[in-house]
Amino acid sequence: MNILTVKNMRAYLQQILRSSGTNQKVIAKQIGISDSYFSKFINGKEIAFWMARKIIQTIDKSNEATLLKLYVSQGIKKSNYAAALEYFYSKQEYNFVEELISLNGDRGPYFLELSNVYRFVLDSRFTYEKLESIERLKQIKTEHIESQIVLEFIHMYTYFLNRNFEITLYRIELIKKLIEQLNDPFLQISFQARIDEVLANIYLKQNKNIKKARIVAKKILARDYSENHNMTAYHTLGLSYFLESYDESLHYYKKMLTLMEKYNDRDSDLVENKMEIAILQYYWGKEIESAYNVNEFTQSLITNEGLVRFYNDPNLRKYAMFLDGMKEKSEKKLLLSIHYFEKDYEKFRATFPKKELMKLDFAYTL
C-alpha cells in the first residue's frame, strides 16, 4: 500500500469496496452508523473518530493505523483531538503523537491543554515508577475531563509499578467514575482497555483470583482494542492455566508469542516468555521444544543437570529453587522459592512451589 494523501486514502478504500462487491449500506448498518455518515467519510468530510476507525477496520483492518494517520494529518476537529492522541499513543506511535501536538497545540485552549497533557505523558512514560511523577502532575492545570482522566492514569501506573496495589485499585475506581462522564465511545473503550490491562495483572499475579483474571482477559480479547492489550490477555490466560492444564496454558502462550514476534523491539520479552514455556514443559514432564531453548537456564532444563548455578541469580533463583525443589522433593528449596516469588510480588507464581509442598504433606496454607 502506497497512499500519500487523504484523497488517495478514500479512493483506496472505495476501490476495496468495489473489488469486494460490498454494499456501503450493509457496512454502515454492520458498524452501527447511518449511511449518510459513511458517505460523508468517503466523500472527504470529517466525522467522529470512532466512526472513521470502525469504517477503516471493516474495510482494511491490517492497515488501520496507517489509514487513520492520513485521516487526521490534514486537520482535525476539536471533538476528535483527544481520541486521536489517545489512539496513536496506545499504538505506540509516539512520533506521530508529537507531530499531532506540533500541528494542533496552538489552536486554542482545549488543544493546548490536551497537547500539554500528552507531551507530559510522552516525557514521563519511562519514569512512572518514580513517585516524583505524581509531584510533577500538580504543575499541570486541567479543565477538561479527557485531560483529567489521562493524568489519573499516571497516578494509577505509578502506584502499580511501585506495587502499591490497594491504592492502584482505588485510583481505578476514581477513573471509572470519570469515564462515565465521557461521551466519546472510542475514549471509553481505550480507557477501559488501559484499566483492564492492569486489573488482569493484579487479579492474577497479586490477588491470585484466577476467575476474575480470566474474565478480564477474555474481555480484553473480545474488545480486540490493540495487539499489545491482547498480548497481556493471552499471557494472563496462559499463566492462569499453568498448574491446571498443560494444553490450555501452552495454547495461550503460543497465541501471545505469535503477536509478540511481529514486533522488532520485543526481543527480551520474547526470550522471557519462551523461557516460561520451557518451564511449563519441564513442569509437566514434556519434552522441551527447541524453539523454547533460549538461554543457559532452558539448556540446563533440557540436560536435566540441576539448577544450582542459578541460585544467586536474582531473576532466576525463584524458578531454579522451585524446579529443583520439585525434582528433589526438598522442602527447604521450595520454601526458599516461595520466599523469592513473594519478594518479587509474584503471589500467584508462589503457589507453584506451595502446591509441591502440599504434595509432601507439608503443613502450608495456600
Tens digits of residue pLDDT in 139-193? 788 899 999 999 999 989 989 988 999 999 999 999 999 999 999 999 999 999 9
Unique residue bearing C-alpha cell 509516539? 94
| pLDDT the model gives residue 2 | 54
| pLDDT the model gives residue 199 | 97
Fold of 1-74: 434 Repressor (Amino-terminal Domain) (1.10.260)
* Dihedral Cα 284, 256, 251, 275, nearest 10 deg: -20
> What residue spans define the domains of the chain?
1-74, 78-183, 306-366
| pLDDT the model gives residue 25 | 83
Distance CA 303, CA 296 (A): 11
Q: What percent of the chain is modeled with pLDDT above 70?
A: 95
Task: State the average pLDDT over residues 219-239.
Answer: 94
Q: What is the pLDDT of residues 45-75, one digit of tens each?
A: 889 999 999 999 988 888 898 899 988 887 8
Task: State the average pLDDT over residues 106-113.
Answer: 94
pTM over 0.85: yes
Q: Which of 37, 40, 48, 42 is nearest to 81 (CA)?
A: 48
pLDDT, greater one: 275 or 125: 275
| pLDDT the model gives residue 236 | 97
Statement: residue 137 has pLDDT above 80: no
pLDDT band at 363 (very low <50, low <70, confident <90, very high): low
Q: 267 — alpha (psi -120 to 50), left (phi > 0) or beta?
A: alpha
Query: Residues 54-83, buried b or exposed e (16+ Cβ, 10 A)?
Result: bbbebbbeebbbebbbbbbbeebeeebbbb
Distance CA 2, CA 240 (A): 43
Statement: residue 111 has pLDDT above 70: yes
| pLDDT the model gives residue 232 | 95
Q: What is the pLDDT of residues 289-319, one digit of tens each?
A: 999 999 999 999 999 989 999 999 999 999 9
Statement: residue 366 has pLDDT above 60: no
| pLDDT the model gives residue 275 | 97
Burial class (CB in 10 A: 0-12, 13-18, 19+), 13: buried
Q: Which of 331, 176, 127 is nearest to 321 (CA)?
A: 331
Statement: residue 128 has pLDDT above 70: no
| pLDDT the model gives residue 20 | 81
Statement: residue 256 has pLDDT above 70: yes
Distance CA 43, CA 11 (A): 9
| pLDDT the model gives residue 27 | 84
Task: State the average pLDDT over residues 232-247.
Answer: 97
Statement: residue 201 has pLDDT above 80: yes
Task: State the average pLDDT over residues 218-233.
Answer: 93
| pLDDT the model gives residue 241 | 98
Q: Which of 36-45, 187-196, 318-327, 347-356 has the lowest mean pLDDT?
A: 36-45
| pLDDT the model gives residue 1 | 52
C-alpha cell at 269: 520479552
3-state secondary structure of 162: coil
| pLDDT the model gives residue 6 | 60
Please tell me which of 45-54, 259-268, 357-366 the model is most confident about, judged by mean pLDDT. 45-54
| pLDDT the model gives residue 5 | 62
| pLDDT the model gives residue 364 | 55
Q: What percent of the chain is modeled with pLDDT above 90?
A: 67
